[in-house]
């Protein structure tokens, strides 16, 4: 009985930005829990490669930062294939640089990719979920939702916004039967962090700063995602779940 709370059989999950990294790992994990998976990204060739790893996965190529494109893609998928029961808003980007010299165009790209995409895809899916009185939305936040680090102030701002947008979505949509929560990863070995992983000095600092003493592995995010996507979290709403090796718990 208890394990059945985590069973996702018969449900379909859309994971944005899932051609690599955290998104692909979460898509694999949701499929392993029984869900049908819809992979998303802008690069169709990357999606094809990723889909080969997950039998039966659908591919839905669109730019999550484009409101009209996201709405058209999701409405079209629901009409042609069927409902999206679970949404994981994972699409995101990073740009590092001193705040006083930070390029304005890079700042705008961060806003569109990291915040607007959550609104765009979240709204498009929620319209259908509300009609069904059921749905799960999981937004990918960050340890930077709570903490700042030099050189990434705009990224920190976007991830703080994701945390509060999650709370706002839950506040508006819980009455319609939706649960909206966020996962806030700490430092994980991903393509987005490749430069930091390769930086011996940074890795040494991180291992000392993190109580667990190491980088996270993307597979370690799967349990949190399955929990928030399943019936096990039926009364969890507007929560930001930090999966960070203890870094936000310690000075």
Segments of the chain assigned E as strands: 12-15, 36-41, 58-61, 86-89, 135-140, 178-185, 240-243
Dihedral-angle region of residue 247 (phi above 0 means left; psi in -120 to 50 means alpha; beta otherwise): alpha
Let me know if 242 is a catalytic residue: no
Element (H or E) spanning 78, and its range?
helix 67-80
Residues with pLDDT less than 50, the chain: none
- Give all domains of the chain, ordered by start, each with its CATH number: 3-242 (3.40.50.720)
pLDDT of residue 50: 97
Token pair listed for 18? 């899932």
Is residue 78 within 8 Å of residue 129, measured between CB atoms?
Answer: no
| Reported pTM | 0.97
CA separation for the pair 120, 117 (Å, rounded): 5
In angstroms, rounded to a whole number, what is the distance separating the alpha carbons of residues 163 and 156?
11
Q: What is the pLDDT of residue 193?
A: 85
Output the CA torsion 80→176→172→64 (10° steps). Answer: -10
Catalytic residue, candidates 62, 77, 107, 155: 155
What is the rounded average pLDDT for all residues in the chain?
97
């Amino acid at each position: 009985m208890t394990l059945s709370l985590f069973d996702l059989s018969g449900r379909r999950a859309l994971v944005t930005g899932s051609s690599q990294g955290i998104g692909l790992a979460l898509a694999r994990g949701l499929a392993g829990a029984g869900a049908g998976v819809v992979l998303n990204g802008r690069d169709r060739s990357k999606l094809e490669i990723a889909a080969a790893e997950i039998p039966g996965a659908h591919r839905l190529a669109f730019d999550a930062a484009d409101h009209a494109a996201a709405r058209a893609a999701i409405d079209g998928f629901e009409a042609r294939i069927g409902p999206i029961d679970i949404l994981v808003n994972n699409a995101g980007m990073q740009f590092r640089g001193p705040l006083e010299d930070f390029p304005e165009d890079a700042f705008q790209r961060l806003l569109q990719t990291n915040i607007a995409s959550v609104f765009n895809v979240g709204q498009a899916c929620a319209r259908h979920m509300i009609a069904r009185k059921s749905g799960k939305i999981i937004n990918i936040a960050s340890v930077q939702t709570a903490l700042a680090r030099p050189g990434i102030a705009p990224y920190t701002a976007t991830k703080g916004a994701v945390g509060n947008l999650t709370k706002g979505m839950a506040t508006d949509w819980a009455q319609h039967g939706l649960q909206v929560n966020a996962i806030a990863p700490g430092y994980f070995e991903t393509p987005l962090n490749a430069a930091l992983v390769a930086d011996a000095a940074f890795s040494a600092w991180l291992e000392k700063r993190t109580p667990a003493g190491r980088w996270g592995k993307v597979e370690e995010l799967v349990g949190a995602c399955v929990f928030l996507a399943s019936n096990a979290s039926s009364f969890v709403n507007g929560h930001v779940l930090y999966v960070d090796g203890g870094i936000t718990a310690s000075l």
